[in-house]
Structure 1
């Protein structure tokens, strides 16, 4: 396993060994990357995640080897040579090729031919020595074999199967597919005229190299095929492929070689190419999935680490026309204080009444900020709010509603607000997203947040796993206030999980707020291991020990106390005191288990304990004159917010229903290898309108530096 992981990651052996040991001990990625730097050689969470991925891959390979060896033993066909080859196999493809001749498959043409006694004839043909093969074939005319031609046909089926099972032949075709395969598409005429088909019309007649097709294009093509709008075909030069097989097998030019040539064509057309072209397409799909999942993961990370407004009193609005605008007032901790509905827009048009209501509620609940959902009637509602003359300085924000409806109908929302309907819950979610995006978004299945590309077309298990890792890493990077966190947020804390999160929540409800990290140990079923993994990520505000509201691990408290004693100070004197901290000689505190990386982290944390790594939320205003796609004109410069990032570009919200696309070619004057190097999710940008296609509702933009 160690050498396999090193070959895949190029990481030092000692780092890989120690990381595997920590993972086997139940360590989580956030805990290991933050608090076990000496053992891992200072690996970050991405490197540790890679070690875990290849560890699981290796274990899956070993499990499959065991299953195959047992099957071969049961069939009494396992030789020492075959056993060795299986044990040395480095990937599933090689392994399955070795197992292919022994697979118990459904009834095949070759199997039928064997049962009627044609295998000896196949062996004679393959020897390529016989000259009068028709006379030899005639000897096999008996029983179910009616003629010499039937005998030869049956023998060819057996030969075709042998050719199909040859690893060298399979690998040669794989090589050609890898190097020269193209993916070609053709429209299905009956369905091509449908409205739904039009978004795929670029692929009604398309061809390009399979090895170079971008992730988003392959996933789009496969979706179009799945929905029945196009047919997809993988192509290589068949004549060259057949010539390569013949060169490997045919040694003479006689009647036998003619039969083998027919068998090769049959093997290629019926067995080899269908199977291996599917395999090549599947490999390309896996590669596309990885790229798409990576895009989704990067977007999700940026979204979760979006700028929080912090503990401010918020009035949140879920805007609408006919059904009105749902308003909620939240206190600084996100608790619901008031809710009602106003009708400023058509058909009721009670704008004056709505403005008075918002003004009075803002005064009554001492509102500091207003959050408006970015869905239907968002722009109209924002314009209305900006007309109000508030007594205090109130900031106005437009907040993404993505996934809010999923949350409002979820069990989590019902448990939080059993006496309120989905519209109120949705408004609360909008307000809380402004206060703390991370704390609110963890309640929603990450796949429902709607960032990324073709998320429903990729491997859902891999996607879920990657997104869970992202959420866990983000939650632990920020830290969690144990006394205010929801069970959803607590469940992502290192070592905690859903059950312990529930126990923490119930303990808090019964005993009141936690006063120290030591008290966390009193939570039912929260043992030493869970405490070790999670304690440093759980923060306690205004605790007696100031370290309880920091990222310093409880196992290192003694070190900090020693530092304070050596300076004749209290621990609290060290907090935020840069001059005092600079006097500490870290080398004095190095031990066998605690090295400079950990000590440097401790010092950094003492300087700014519990510092939020996220930026503060900033107010943003769209161009008020642009209300629909028809208001756009070529050459306009507009403010916008990046609301999605894909491999082919970034989508920007410019304040109307349709988002515009900055294609990769319009992000920079030079070559763009990674969109994330030029823009970030929720980044405020200035864009230039390049093209507006009103019928197709497409807007092409260019990023302005």
Structure 2
């Protein structure tokens, strides 16, 4: 089977769309570029569908690589028949492939191998044929120095039979099916750990049992974490009697002494070989599914965070709050450059709130500050209350900004390179301020796993997680577009076709030659060839360019088309931009060609209506209930404003302005059934919640979504 047929069969997508997408991928085109600028070729496939094609292509390549490895091994063993070769070539999944290879797989020394060396395979074959009337009497013929008596001979023969049973694909698949349908996951606490303080967060799973197929992602990951940390023991269970009975029906034709020996071999094969391996396989599959769910949640959260509302190019005073060490204060210009920094001490133990107020007031005047950003960590609420006491000369908006990952950034090489003469506290405050200006541009500098919006992100497959998060960041960056004259190297590195090395080259060129004036000048960057330019150009913006299309998502390869449309309308390109009535009156069908269809033409017209429009909402000021300062102030029945700060498969956590976040369980998101939390709330969403329950001892708050 070729990759094209494999992807079509697995995805159900159209042949034309899959074929053209695979061709584009083989030409090193990126997912964002294909989704945005090659809609005619793909039939309008979106990022999700193209991502699925990429994943299936990789699966097929992994399968083919494994087939080649197995065929080579079988040839070297001189056991490859044309029938076996044909079965392997036709196999479409790794599990079936490994089952085919299992009988020929090089094994460490096993009980069956020892029995073969001792000459007991003929006896095993006679017993399996079920023709022997007296297996025990027959076994005496196979005794020797290594096999002292008939019982030892029978035992050795059963080991060989057990291995044959273990290698039967039909038997393995039957047990797999039972595990898939009926398996239960059971846990028991490790007695010596039952009273361990750290174990208490897992106490719900000290004696737990439920259907493995119905165990939700978050619970399975929590159970496996508890096992890894040594607090519980986990096992997978099915009805062993039923499983053994099904094997016996397949193998035993009649009752007799041979049947008795086969029954013993079946029990040995099941207990020693089949069930341990296949139950672990089933648990691994369940873990993989749980990982995929958790990674999807993480990716959705990350996307929402990256596409969070930017304030834009405003002059910012940013505060990284603290008590004993003070509040680090920085002033940034509209492009995020550091203008000033110092530390103020408004809180205990110094309590210099008067001096802090004077300092903030004077700096807002001196640097013409337009907004204030306050980190949401320690002393955040106290600092917010202090700032709101100040009577500014001009209207200044005050925002509380997530600090998640700021400490990671401040200690990173990127931060050291940006601010070599400043310590981590200054860098952290700068990051808080820049997040208010543009969350996407700042957050791309931080390893996504450190942002803290995931569900068990340290427990899932790290390779799969990293791949998903990288793709999410790339999609977000290219969906928004990047100002090539102000973007940092980390931000540029996620632009389609660029990468980290070229991004550094763009920044160096910009620093030595000055800002880019046209998109065509991008080609002058060393090692940025024609292919990279085609992939990247549509996502790079140049504000104030002579050609207004350079500050839009219209690709340079379509500039001539736009000029032709403008000429037909008897206006210039500049005059056509923003002229909605004119643009809507254009007969697009007139410009359809074999290469350019209605999807591309529609995208171009939509972009010309509002060129360079940011798809993100503008940042809005939010105010917590000022009477809620600790968990003791929270009472059932209260309606409180909050901000969603994490979304999981089982609900959403909401910051209501105190140290402890409250949980809106999935059952409290709506009056009816809810299957997808993210369909009701999103990260950083401003909401009103009703307090249902407060457990001060466990520091837990249960909430209900009101609006």
Q: Where on the TM-score scale, by shorter chain, does this alignment land: which range?
A: over 0.9
In the TM superposition, what is the alpha-carbon distance from 1:234 to its structure 2 partner? 0.2
Matched residues in 2 for 1:62 and 1:319: separation? 55
In the TM superposition, what is the alpha-carbon distance from 1:693 to its structure 2 partner? 1.1
Matches within 5 A, 1:141-180: 141-180=143-182
In the TM superposition, what is the alpha-carbon distance from 1:141 to its structure 2 partner? 1.1
Instruction: Show the counterpart of 2:399.
Output: 397
Instruction: Show the counterpart of 1:626.
Output: 628
In the TM superposition, what is the alpha-carbon distance from 1:254 to its structure 2 partner? 0.9
Q: Where does structure 1 differ by over 6 angstroms across 4 or more consecutive aligned residues?
A: none
What is the TM-score when the length of structure 2 is the normalising length?
0.99
The DSSP-based 3-state class of the residue aligned with 1:525 is coil
Does residue 468 in structure 1 map to residue 470 in structure 2?
yes
Instruction: Show the counterpart of 1:276.
Output: 278
**Alignment partner of 2:243 out of 233, 241, 244:** 241
**Alignment partner of 1:340 out of 332, 339, 342:** 342
Instruction: Show the counterpart of 2:417.
Output: 415
Instruction: Show the counterpart of 2:657.
Output: 655
The DSSP-based 3-state class of the residue aligned with 2:452 is coil
The DSSP-based 3-state class of the residue aligned with 1:558 is helix
Q: Please say which of residues 695-704 and 607-616 is displaced more in the overlay.
A: 695-704
Equivalences, count: 705
In the TM superposition, what is the alpha-carbon distance from 1:318 to its structure 2 partner? 0.1
In the TM superposition, what is the alpha-carbon distance from 1:695 to its structure 2 partner? 1.6
In the TM superposition, what is the alpha-carbon distance from 1:369 to its structure 2 partner? 0.3
In the TM superposition, what is the alpha-carbon distance from 1:9 to its structure 2 partner? 1.4
Matched residues in 1 for 2:130 and 2:96: separation? 29
Instruction: Show the counterpart of 1:443.
Output: 445
Does residue 637 in structure 1 map to residue 643 in structure 2?
no
Matched residues in 1 for 2:574 and 2:52: separation? 39
In the TM superposition, what is the alpha-carbon distance from 1:566 to its structure 2 partner? 1.2
Instruction: Show the counterpart of 1:615.
Output: 617
Over residues 306-349 of structure 1, what are the superposed CA-to-partner deviations in whole Å (9 max), with x where a residue is unaligned?
A: 00000000000000000000000000000000000000000000
The DSSP-based 3-state class of the residue aligned with 1:387 is coil
Matched residues in 2 for 1:535 and 1:679: separation? 34
Over residues 339-361 of structure 1, what are the superposed CA-to-partner deviations in whole Å (9 max), with x where a residue is unaligned?
A: 00000000000000000000000
The DSSP-based 3-state class of the residue aligned with 1:271 is helix
In the TM superposition, what is the alpha-carbon distance from 1:580 to its structure 2 partner? 2.0
Does residue 590 in structure 1 map to residue 613 in structure 2?
no
In the TM superposition, what is the alpha-carbon distance from 1:466 to its structure 2 partner? 0.4
Matched residues in 2 for 1:21 and 1:107: separation? 47
Matches within 5 A, 1:38-49: 38-49=40-51
Q: Please say which of residues 139-148 and 274-283 is displaced more in the overlay.
A: 139-148
Does residue 554 in structure 1 map to residue 544 in structure 2?
no
The DSSP-based 3-state class of the residue aligned with 1:338 is strand
Instruction: Show the counterpart of 2:107.
Output: 105
Instruction: Show the counterpart of 2:490.
Output: 488
Matched residues in 2 for 1:8 and 1:447: separation? 30
In the TM superposition, what is the alpha-carbon distance from 1:583 to its structure 2 partner? 3.0
The DSSP-based 3-state class of the residue aligned with 1:211 is helix
Q: Please say which of residues 390-399 and 572-581 is displaced more in the overlay.
A: 572-581
RMSD, matched Cα: 0.6
Instruction: Show the counterpart of 1:567.
Output: 569
Does residue 57 in structure 1 map to residue 63 in structure 2?
no
**Alignment partner of 1:285 out of 266, 287, 291:** 287
In the TM superposition, what is the alpha-carbon distance from 1:255 to its structure 2 partner? 0.7
Instruction: Show the counterpart of 1:9.
Output: 11
Over residues 391-437 of structure 1, what are the superposed CA-to-partner deviations in whole Å (9 max), with x where a residue is unaligned?
A: 00000000000000000000000000000000000000000000000
In the TM superposition, what is the alpha-carbon distance from 1:579 to its structure 2 partner? 2.0
Matches within 5 A, 1:170-209: 170-209=172-211
Over residues 273-317 of structure 1, what are the superposed CA-to-partner deviations in whole Å (9 max), with x where a residue is unaligned?
A: 000000000000000000000000000000000000000000000
Matched residues in 2 for 1:568 and 1:144: separation? 100
Matched residues in 1 for 2:225 and 2:481: separation? 40
Instruction: Show the counterpart of 1:250.
Output: 252
The DSSP-based 3-state class of the residue aligned with 2:213 is coil
**Alignment partner of 2:297 out of 287, 295, 301:** 295
Instruction: Show the counterpart of 1:536.
Output: 538
Instruction: Show the counterpart of 1:690.
Output: 692
